Amino acid sequence: MEKNSLSIKTIVAIGIGAAVFVILGRFASIPTGIPNTTIETSYAFLALMATIFGPIAGGLIGLIGHALKDAVFYGAIWWSWVIVSAFVGLFIGLFAKRLNVESGIAGSRQIVTFNIVQAAVQAVGWFLLAPILDVAIYAEPANKVYLQGIVAGLSNIVTVGVIGTILYVYYAKTRSQSDSLAKE
Amino acid sequence: MAVEMLSYIERESPVHRLSGVTKLVIFMMWSTAAMLTYDTRVLLFLFAASIAIFIVSKVKLRDIAFVLIFILIFLLLNNIAIYIFSPQEGVNIYGTSHVLFDIAGRYNVTIEQLFYQFNITLKYFVVIPAALLFIVTTHPSEFAASLNRMGVNYKIAYSVSLALRYIPDIQRDFRMIAQSQQARGIDLSRNEKLVKRVKNAAAIIMPLIFSSLERIETISNAMELRGFGKKKKRTWYSTKAFRHADYLTLFIGLAILVVSLYITFHDGDRFYNPFC
């Protein structure tokens, strides 16, 4: 691994990650039946990428991916939530680094840590940051944006908890385990 | 399911000829002005100006009609939601209450509320043409070059350009995987129950994500072999040099930003209050 924080691999991971985030956000979000609430599979992917490639990649995938998705499919960028996406990617990456997913070990300890990290980061992001920014930037009614934030936050925490965990375990399985060699 | 997305449209117009840097700066200043102000006079002026630029750009309405319809539906739903959650928001902001008629309980219709929601809607109508125009008139690779010229690290600018380059490819991958999984009987439509549907979605996003991880490997190896990132700077194939029109546009944009912020904040309030 290079010491430079922006290795070529990170740059490519940001680019491709943002593109996948756009596509998942547009095509692979499942309506739950509650209005305006969808299961956003893209956040499970964001959590995985942040865990693998670290905070800079996570934050930039959230930022670029979300801004591009809004821009090319909806024509208007909802900045407050774009910032929250960047925040979620950045902080999951920051805390999940110690999981060391590259070691290929995904036991219950790692899974629990991964989920505590993602739930805590997303709770701060969606329950606090998103409504505050909505009120500050768009001057929307506070009770509306807090409810939207809580609903989106809960649904995203559950989504990352289920799909993100599956992705995490599968990815760890594709790495060769660091303790896979035994002395004969 | 052919889903349309906004992309660069090649036309010959003064807006297309401007350098990407100019358009990016104008877009950012425009969004800032529209985000900060709630002053109806400023919003109306910005709206009129963006319509004028739109006509100059020779982008046809039908080029972007699909996005516009989507946005209008979103705005309608958003307005209904704002009213349901906070029918007195306008009264709180403007401090007076001119009731037109009552519905039930705290749900009455006041001129203040209508005016507040009119302003919210107007804010979108100011930002949307600018965003649409920026996307439709700036070539993706010139966009990356402009980001770099504005001081964004060229590696990050390059990853934005990579993202734009690979969105169509990943969309095609997604469609292929979805179709082949559907051929195996995995149903994604709303005929399935929610839990099953989530499982089925996972069957599609898994191959997509893992093939993308492999793609990252391939591309970064290719870039490594070509020596990407060895130097502090790089040049871009598609940059446009600054011309007089660019300086003029930037100057006018800056003037509009300053004036609109001044009008908005000189009385210490973001909102223009016609009621007092």
Q: What pLDDT is attached to residue B75? A: 87
* For chain B, domain boundaries: 1-139+240-276, 160-237
The CA-based angle B127-B66-B133, given to 5 degrees, is 35
The pLDDT of residue A94 is above 50: yes
A180 touches chain B (CB under 8 A): no
A65 touches chain B (CB under 8 A): yes
* Mean pLDDT of chain A, nearest integer: 86
Largest CA distance in chain A: 68
Among B163, B190, B210, beta carbon nearest to A18: B163
Put simply, the answer to whether A163 touches B198 (Cβ < 8 Å) is yes
- At B188-232, the pLDDT tens digits run 777 778 788 888 888 889 999 999 999 999 999 999 999 888 888
Contacts with B169 from chain A: Cβ below 8 Å: 19
* Residue B178, H or E segment: helix B154-183
Q: What pLDDT is attached to residue A1? A: 40
Confidence of residue A34 (pLDDT cuts 50, 70, 90): low
Q: What pLDDT is attached to residue A96? A: 83
Cα nearest neighbour of A65 on chain B: B163
Query: Out of A121-125, B24-28, B238-242, which region has the weakest mean confidence (pLDDT)?
Result: B238-242
CA atoms within 13 A on the CB side of B224: 14
- At B135-194, the pLDDT tens digits run 888 888 888 888 888 888 889 999 998 998 898 899 899 989 989 998 998 877 777 787
Q: What pLDDT is attached to residue A64? A: 93
Query: Out of A73-82, A155-164, B118-127, which region has the weakest mean confidence (pLDDT)?
Result: A73-82
A170 touches chain B (CB under 8 A): yes
- At B45-72, the pLDDT tens digits run 999 998 898 888 888 888 888 888 888 8
The pLDDT of residue A23 is above 80: yes
The pLDDT of residue B38 is above 80: yes
pTM for this one? 0.85
Put simply, the answer to whether B208 touches A74 (Cβ < 8 Å) is no
> Alpha helices, DSSP H only, in chain A?
8-27, 41-53, 55-69, 79-96, 108-122, 130-133, 142-159, 165-174
Size of interface A-B (CB pairs under 8 A): 185
Q: What pLDDT is attached to residue A9? A: 92
Mutate to test the interface with B, among A16, A21, A43 (most CBs of B within 10 A): A16
User: Domain spanning A8-174 has what CATH number?
Assistant: 1.10.1760.20
Contacts with A141 from chain B: Cβ below 8 Å: 82, 85-86, 89
B243-269: average pLDDT: 87
Cα nearest neighbour of A159 on chain B: B198
**What string of DSSP letters covers A122-142?**
HIIIIIIIHHHHIIIII---H
The number of residues making up chain A comes to: 184
Q: How close is the nearest chain A Cα to the Cα of B220, in Å?
A: 5
Residue B237's identity, in one-letter code, is Y
* For chain A, domain boundaries: 8-174
Q: What pLDDT is attached to residue A178? A: 67
% chain B with pLDDT above 70: 98
A47 touches chain B (CB under 8 A): no
The CA-based angle B238-A53-A30, given to 5 degrees, is 85
Mutate to test the interface with B, among A10, A12, A24, A134 (most CBs of B within 10 A): A12
Burial of B63 (0-12, 13-18, 19+ CB in 10 A): middle
Residues 12-31 of A with CB under 8 A from B: 12-20, 22-24, 26-28, 30-31
CA atoms within 13 A on the CB side of A145: 19
The pLDDT of residue A35 is above 70: no
Q: How close is the nearest chain A Cα to the Cα of B218, in Å?
A: 10
Contacts with B160 from chain A: Cβ below 8 Å: 15, 18, 64, 68
Burial of B206 (0-12, 13-18, 19+ CB in 10 A): middle
Q: What pLDDT is attached to residue A184? A: 74
Put simply, the answer to whether A68 touches B163 (Cβ < 8 Å) is yes
Q: What pLDDT is attached to residue B1? A: 41
Q: How close is the nearest chain A Cα to the Cα of B21, in Å?
A: 18
